[in-house]
Structure 1
């Protein structure tokens, strides 16, 4: 036999009590996941922001330290080269040949004007000058001893260039 549908619809009513707590909690699950995701996003965003700021600060400090180290190394290298040149000039100034001695003393005069010369080195120059000239002040030549040339002094007010010339009357404007 084949089933025959009933002529009237049938209503099924299930009577139950209020929903259990876990059913309500299960319905709030997606909302809880969304809140947890937003909280995790906020925490990660703050951490990333803090690390970025810390990395920037560390990088700035490293750049400053590297710049200071480079400046110190450059100054030390310049002083070492200055001292090497000073030793060469002192050797020439103490030479027996008058031409070599004059070259050494002239080089010492130029080196004494350098900003790298310290007080101790200038005192050494004075001692070397006195031992070469035999005079207490190192100025026994006078005007006739240097052939009428004006000899610049260590504390001369004129600005002496690296090539041994002053800037007096030699200022020119460079053209295009």
Structure 2
């Protein structure tokens, strides 16, 4: 084989390896990009779920305040509606341990006030 053929073969092999390396790097880069985008979507879904839970808990608290106001009313019907709403809210899965503590204290205060009025 002559020198011209060796050079041509060498250049051809180098070009082939260059194309293969470029295709491999491109595939690897696209795979990493897809994985990163998937991770970002998961992170955004988790962030949205946390936000939704915070909003639901804030709404629970607004409802609790409304129920306490009703339960404190002078009208027996409103008082009963407030107490029933408070009981329903007490069974919510949105309640945390600190809110359960508040409910327990509120319950004890309600018992004290009802014993005091007897």
| Structure 1 and Structure 2 fold alike (TM over 0.5) | yes
1:114 shift after superposition: 0.6
As a proportion of its length, which structure holds more helix? Answer: 2
Within the candidate set 48, 58, 61, 2:26 is matched to 48
- Structure 2 regions of 5+ residues with no counterpart? none
Within the candidate set 74, 78, 82, 2:52 is matched to 74
Q: Does structure 1 residue 113 correspond to structure 2 residue 91?
A: yes
- Structure 1 regions of 5+ residues with no counterpart? 1-23, 137-176
Higher relative contact order (Cα pairs below 8 Å, separated by 6+ residues): 2
Give a deviation string over 1:86-108, Cα, whole Å, max 9, x none.
11111111222222211111100
Q: Find the aligned partners of 1:74 and 1:33 in 2 and give their Cα distance.
A: 61
1:83 aligned partner: 61
Q: Cα–Cα, structure 1 residues 83 and 125, in superposed 2: closer, same or farther, change >3 Å? A: same
Q: Does structure 1 residue 102 correspond to structure 2 residue 92?
A: no
Q: Find the aligned partners of 1:101 and 1:126 in 2 and give their Cα distance.
A: 19
Q: Find the aligned partners of 2:27 and 2:93 in 1 and give their Cα distance.
A: 47
8 A contact 1:89–1:107 mirrored in 2: yes
Please, what TM-score do these two structures have when normalized by structure 2?
A: 0.80
Equivalent pairs counted in the alignment come to 114
Please, what TM-score do these two structures have when normalized by structure 1?
A: 0.56
Q: Find the aligned partners of 1:72 and 1:132 in 2 and give their Cα distance.
A: 33
After superposition, the CA RMSD in angstroms is: 2.2
